[in-house]
Amino acid sequence: MEYISVKEAAEQWGLTPRMVIYHCVNGRIKGSDKVAGVWLVPRDATRPEDRRKENGRKPKSTVQERDK
């Protein structure tokens, strides 16, 4: 299996290297491995799903909407 660095994975997926490490630590990147303190990501790994949700807040109204 071929591996790429965290930095390379971050560039491919449009994430920060810290977010790639976060996903590796939490097991969201299948096949990632930590060797000698460095995370390695499989070359054919896919970008983890963005699991953030909408927080349910309504968008703030603009000044023009309030003045109507």
* 31 has a pLDDT exceeding 60: yes
* 15 has a pLDDT exceeding 70: yes
* 53 has a pLDDT exceeding 80: no
Give a yes or no: residue 62 inside a domain. no
Give a yes or no: residue 15 inside a domain. yes
15 half-sphere exposure, CB direction, 13 A CA radius: 19
pTM: 0.73
Give a yes or no: residue 59 inside a domain. no
* 47 has a pLDDT exceeding 70: yes
Give a yes or no: residue 50 inside a domain. no
Give a yes or no: residue 56 inside a domain. no
Give a yes or no: residue 4 inside a domain. yes
Q: Output the DSSP codes for 5-55.
A: EHHHHHHHHT--HHHHHHHHHTT-STT-EEETTEEEEETTPPPPP------
Query: What is the tally of structural domains in the chain?
Result: 1
Give the domain range for residue 9: 1-42
